Amino acid sequence: MSTLEQLEWRKSSFCAAANCVEVAQLAEQILVRDSKNPTAAPLSFTTEEWSAFVRGVNDGQFRFN
């Protein structure tokens, strides 16, 4: 079993079926993957980059309406 398989992958409670984005933390990296393709290499972000993204979401920077 690889390190990525051992991680605690989380997805939103709003996720419908298996069409979701999943996130996990590995040391100082936040990993993001597509739940439909969990064996593909995940995207990797620093904790600072992830925190900035979460702040942007909470501040409404990604609303497209």
| 3-state DSSP assignment of residue 24 | strand
Could you report the per-residue pLDDT of 14-33, keeping only the tens digit for each?
887 767 899 999 999 999 99
Residue 50 lies in a domain: yes
Say if 7 falls within a structural domain. yes
User: Would the pTM count as exceeding 0.85?
Assistant: no
Tens-place pLDDT, residues 29-62: 999 999 888 889 999 999 999 999 999 999 999 9
Interacting residues of 45 by C-beta distance below 8 A, sequence separation 6+: 29, 30, 31, 32, 53
* Number of domains composing the chain: 1
Q: Identify the domain containing residue 45 by its residue range.
A: 3-58
Residue 35 domain flag: yes
Instruction: Flag whether 64 is in a domain.
Output: no
Contact status, residue 43 vs residue 32, Cβ threshold 8 Å: yes
Tell me whether residue 13 is in a domain: yes
